[in-house]
Chain A
Amino acid sequence: MSAEDLTGAEITIRCLQEEGVKHIFGYPGGAVLFIYDELFKQDKVKHILVRHEQAAIHAADGYARSSKKPGVALVTSGPGVTNAITGIATAYMDSIPMVIISGQVPTHAIGLDAFQEVDTVGITRPCVKHNFLVKDITELAATIKKAFYICSTGRPGPVLVDIPKDISAEKFKFSYPASVSMRSYDPINKDHPEQLKKAIRLIMGSKRPMVYTGGGVILGNATSQLTRFVQMLDFPCTNTLMGLGGYPATDKQFVGMLGMHGTYEANMAMQNCDVLIAVGARFDDRVIGNPKHFSNKDRKIIHIDIDPSSISKRVSVDVPIIGGVSNVLDGLIKLLMASKEKPKQEALKSWWAQIDQWRARDCLKYDRKSTIIKPQMVIEKLYEVTKGEAFITSDVGQHQMWAAQFYKFDKPKRWINSGGLGTMGFGLPSAMGVQIANPKNVVACVTGEASIQMCIQELSTCKQYNLPLKIINLNNRYMGMVRQWQEFFHGNRYAESYVDALPDFVKLAESYGHVGIKIENPNDIEDALKEAFKLKDKLVFMDFITDQTENVFPMIPGGKGLSEMILI
C-alpha cells in the first residue's frame, strides 16, 4: 500500500480498522471531534454511544471478557477521562485487555489549565498497564499498534492513548507497522522444564492434592487444558470468583468457588491440602483470607502464573512456574502422559471421602419454603430457565455472590463481574458489551436496586441499539452486603445502607421503552423468568422483591482464615 497523507484522526480510525476492531464504545466531546468526524465517514468500525463515559469503559470491558478481542473505548478530554477512571481501574484490577483512546487539549495548550484539560496520563497511570501521550503525529500509528500489543500480551490490561486535538488534525503519511518490538517489554513465554519436573514430583507424592484456579485460566484460554489436567489426575478443583467457568461447575470434581463466600468444602480442602496447584490465581485477601492463618498449615505450593510479581506476593511458593497457563498446563499434561507413575490412589480415595463429608454439610442451603422471595431461588431458577447457557454479568454485593454460588458455569467467559475493584454499576454497561460481542446469545444482568442505579442511564443506550438484555434485579431495599456486615460486625446499626425513595423500576423500564415486571411471590419466579426470556428482542427489567434479611453464607469474616467460616 502506498503511503498517503492522512490526518491524525484518519490515522486513528485506520489503525482501528487494521486491528480488526468492529465496535468501539464512547462519548464525543471537543477534543475528539476530528476523530468522531472520521468515524462518521466510514462504516467498518461501529460506534456505540453510551450515556456516561464510565459505561463506555465497562461496555468495552464486557466486550473483551466475553470475546477473544480487546475492548476499545473513545472518550474526550477532562471530564470524559475522569468519568472513565472507574471503568479503567475495574479493567486493570481484573487484567482485561482494552485500548482507551482519549482526546486531549491541543499540545500548545497542555499545562495551561485549558478548558477540559486534565493530566490524563498522570491521572490514569496507577490504573493502566501502560499509557501514552502522543505529542508527535509521526508516532501516532506506531503508538496505537503498541497499545494493542501491550494490552493483549503477557498479563493483559488496559492501555490508554491520549491524543491532543491538534495531533488529530495534523497530517502525516499512514503506514501501520506489521509488528512491534520493544526492548523494555518482552512478554514471550519461556519453557521451564526443570520446574515442570519438580511440579510433577510434588503431584505424584501428594496425598491431599488441590487445584485452585483463577481468572488467568479464563484470560489465558486454558480451560480445555485445565479440565484435561484435573481429570487425568482425579484431583478436586476449585475456582476463584474470577475463575468461574474455568472448570465445568457441574463436574463432580468441582468443589465450588472458594474464598470469603466460597463453599465449605472448597475452603476446607484448600486449607487442609498437602499439595496445592495454583493456576492463574493470586492468593488475594478475598480468596485465602488471612495469609498467616493460611500458612499455619504445612503444604507445598505449585504456582503457575504469567506475572512474576504475583508469585510469592502474599504467600510463599515452593515451585513457581512463570508462563502462560495454557502452555504450562500443556507441558504438565505431556509429562503426565509420559509418566508411568500415578498419584497415590489410596490416599486420594480417602481425601475424596473427606471432601464428600465436607460437601454433606450442604453449606449453600436456604429456606426453600419461604413465602418471601429468597434471592438464591431466583438465581437457581435463572440457571434452570436459561439451561446454564446464558452470559451472566453482575454488579457488586450480595447478588453477585449468590449468582457466583448458584449459577453453575460450565463454560469460560460466561461469568462477567468486577472481582478485583468491586465496582457497583458494572453490571448493566458490561452486559451491553457482552450482548454486542455475542448478538445471538442470551445475556442477563444480575443486579441489586442499589448497584443498578449507579449506571441506570444505560437503559437508554440499550434502547438505541436494541440490546435485549434481561435484568434480574434482586431488590431488598438495602445495600445488602453493607447491611450484612453491619448486622455481623457493627451491632445491627444499619448506617445509611437502607435505600429510601426507590423508583418504580417497572415504570422506569417502561419510560425507557423497555418491558418491566415486578415479582413478589416465590411461586411466580419461574413463570416470570420464562415469560421474560421468551421476549427475545426486548429488554426486560425484572424487579424481584426479595427477603430483606437474607445473608450470604458461608462467610469468612475479614482478617480470618479459610477454615473460620460463619455457616448457616
Chain B
Amino acid sequence: MENEAGALSRVAGLFSARGYNIMSLTVAPTEDPTLSRMTLVTVGSDSVVEQITKQLNKLIDVVKVLDLSDGDHIECELMLVKVSALGKNRKEIKATTDIFCGRIVDTTDTSYIIELTGTCSKLDAFIDAMGHSTILETVRTGASGIGRGERALEVK
C-alpha cells in the first residue's frame, strides 16, 4: 500500500468496522520508500476472506492484495521472550533454546532474553515448552509472509 500517513488506520478501521478478526499485523516500508508492505493474518470462511480481499482492494491507499494462503509461501515471525533463569533451570532453558534454534541475547543472574524466529506455530510450541511459569514477558511481531518461487508481488 501507499506509504501514507493514515493508510494503516484505514486497514485497521476496515477490519473493526466490518467485524473481521485481525490475528496479527505487520507493516513496514519496502525497498521502494513510497510503498509499505503489510502482512495481515486473519481467519474466516472462504466467503468472508473473499469479502475481506475485496474490501481491502477498495481502499484507495491499497495497491495490491494477495492471499498468501492460496499458494506456497513462507511465513516468519520474530519473538523475544524474557524468562526467569535460576540454578539448574539455566542449562535446561539453554538446551531448549538450542533445540528451537533460538539465541539468548541478554542475560542477568536471574533471567534470559531469548530471540526466536520461525512460523507462528513454532513460536507457540516454544512457549509451551518453556512453560508459562518460567516466562516473564513475551513480545511477538506477528507473521510476515512472502510467496515461494519467482512469482513476486510487483507494483508497476
Q: Which of B91-147 contact A (CB under 8 A)?
A: none
CB proximity to B under 8 Å, residues A173-199: 182-185
Partner of B13, one of A126, A129, A307, A316: A126
Query: A309: which B residues are within 8 A, CB to CB?
Result: 51, 54-55, 57-58
Q: How far is the CA of A309 from the CA of B51 in the complex (A)?
A: 6
B17 touches A126 (CB 8 A): yes
Residues of A close to B17: CB separation below 8 A = 126
A 283-323 to B, binary, CB cutoff 8 A, 1 in contact else 0: 00000000000000000000000011101110010000000
Determine if A184 and B13 form an interchain contact, defined as CB atoms under 8 angstroms apart: no
Q: How far is the CA of A309 from the CA of B53 in the complex (A)?
A: 9
CB distance from B13 to the nearest CB of A (A): 6
Contact with B along A70-101 (1 / 0, CB 8 A): 00000000000000000000000000000000
The CA-CA distance from A150 to B60 in the complex, in Å, is 9
Contacts of B10 in A (CB 8 A): 125
Mind listing 16 A-B residue pairs with CB under 8 Å? A125-B9, A125-B13, A126-B13, A126-B17, A129-B60, A130-B60, A150-B60, A182-B60, A184-B1, A184-B60, A184-B61, A184-B62, A308-B54, A308-B58, A309-B57, A312-B50
Write out the residue numbers on chain A whose beta carbons fall within 8 Å of the beta carbon of B58.
Answer: 307-309
Q: Is residue B77 contacting chain A, with contact meaning CB distance below 8 A?
A: no
Say which size band chain A's interface belongs to: 10 to 19
Taking Cβ atoms with an 8 Å cutoff, the residues of A that contact B are: 121-122, 125-126, 129-130, 133, 150, 182-185, 307-309, 311-313, 316
Residues from chain A with a CB closer than 8 A to the CB of B5 are 133
Q: Which residue of A lies closest to B14 (CB)?
A: A126
- A125, A133, A307: most-surrounded residue (chain B CB, <10 A): A125
- Check A121 against B60 for contact (C-beta < 8 Å): no
Partner pick for A312 among B47, B55, B155, CB 8 A cutoff? B47
Q: Nearest 5 pairs between A and B by C-beta?
A: A309-B54, A130-B60, A184-B63, A308-B54, A185-B60
**Contact B13–A308 (Cβ < 8 Å):** no
A184 to B5, CA, bound (A): 15
| Cα of A385 to Cα of B13 in the assembled complex, Å | 49
Asked if B6 CB lies within 8 Å of chain A CBs, one says yes
A104 to chain B minimum Cβ distance, whole angstroms, is 14
Interface residues of B in 41-98 (CB under 8 A from A): 47, 50-51, 54-55, 57-58, 60-63
Least CB distance from B94 to A in Å reads: 47
Report whether B9 and A122 are in contact in the complex, using a CB–CB cutoff of 8 Å. Answer: yes
- Bound: A121/B62 CA distance, A: 17
Instruction: Give the residues in chain A near B54, CB-CB below 8 Å.
Output: 308-309, 311
